[in-house]
Chains A and B, each alone.
Chain A
């Protein structure tokens, strides 16, 4: 394990005030209404914390509302995240956490694409390819060490 942190001094951003939703039913069966951008952003921002610091991805501006592109009719979601540093080696873990969180929260019909924001990482293409290779992801999720790291980043979501 690396002893020094990748990012010693992360910049923390204030949490966004939540818009009041008329139909506040995040926990309702998602089949009832089409899933939209805000809903997915809520799922991701509240419950994933950065692997190195006790802050959420939203607070570190790794993901924002605009990071999420969703089309409920085609069951497709794409999340673009911005690692805090260009050489961030935690990027694969963060990508995996986002994917796992979405897999656990969305109906199985959804196709999930994860990528890093263009220009935000030194090995962007290789990273994107790896994050979306279904075999590599499946094999990674069978690795107990990785699963442990991912579970630590994802707070228990029993709401």
Chain B
């Protein structure tokens, strides 16, 4: 986005073409360096890189032939080295860039099977089977399911970790936002609060949750046409 002198406005910098179906989600690589991932109904994920010299974006890799249905979302690990993608085909894939100087080396590291349909994000997955799964990354590219959280009465649309605390938030077609935390090491994650219409929550499907960097504000948006902070 370019800031134009004293006028703040959104200016389209470039149109990235390549996907052949709706693009459901994009994710910036947190490690910086102008890398963006996009996932689409064409069952592929594309990695885009910004050239340092010309500042223009090109598609560096197409991750395809792994997911067999729409890829609904993608998310980078905090280190920026891993990308998780989830799909309507009920699986989450974790991709690693084997050669850090050449992003074309991204390969699917492991495939994790989950319930039905939608699955989400690194270290947590949510889905049409109304549950939230938490996955742990173990050494040697293995994944272990650490917990399955039930409670939502309809599809879970999105999950998001709090930026600083070990607390998980999930939102759903059932109009609520649930807050999960693990009281102690041996106890599993429990739902400690549900934000619904009765306590100032939304009155329709809650689609997304996001936090500010400090973690003291959360924003949610919903099918009830309201954005709440």
Residues of A in contact with B (beta carbons under 8 Å apart): 129, 132-133, 135-136, 138-139, 142
Total A-B pairs, Cβ < 8 A: 25
Given contacts A138-B88, A142-B88, contact A129 B205 (CB under 8 A): yes
B111 within 8 A of A: no
The distance in angstroms between the C-alpha atoms of A136 and B223, with both chains bound, is: 13
Other-chain residue from B22, B69, B204 in contact with A129 (beta carbon distance below 8 A): B204
Given contacts A129-B204, A129-B223, contact A135 B118 (CB under 8 A): yes
Q: Which residues from A are CB-within-8-Å of B173?
A: 129, 133
Residues of B in contact with A (beta carbons under 8 Å apart): 22, 41, 69-70, 72, 88, 117-118, 128, 155, 157, 173, 204-205, 223
Given contacts A138-B88, A142-B88, contact A133 B205 (CB under 8 A): yes
Say what secondary structure dominates the interface of chain A. Answer: helix
Contact A135 B157 (CB under 8 A): yes
Closest chain B residue to A108 by CB distance?
A: B22
The distance in angstroms between the C-alpha atoms of A139 and B116, with both chains bound, is: 11
Q: Which residues from A are CB-within-8-Å of B70?
A: 138-139, 142
Other-chain residue from A129, A132, A139 in contact with B128 (beta carbon distance below 8 A): A139
Closest chain B residue to A139 by CB distance?
A: B88
Given contacts A129-B204, A129-B205, A129-B223, contact A135 B69 (CB under 8 A): no
Q: A129-B204, A136-B155, A138-B70 are known contacts; what are 7 more A-B pairs with Cβ within 8 Å?
A: A132-B223, A133-B223, A135-B72, A135-B118, A135-B155, A138-B22, A138-B88
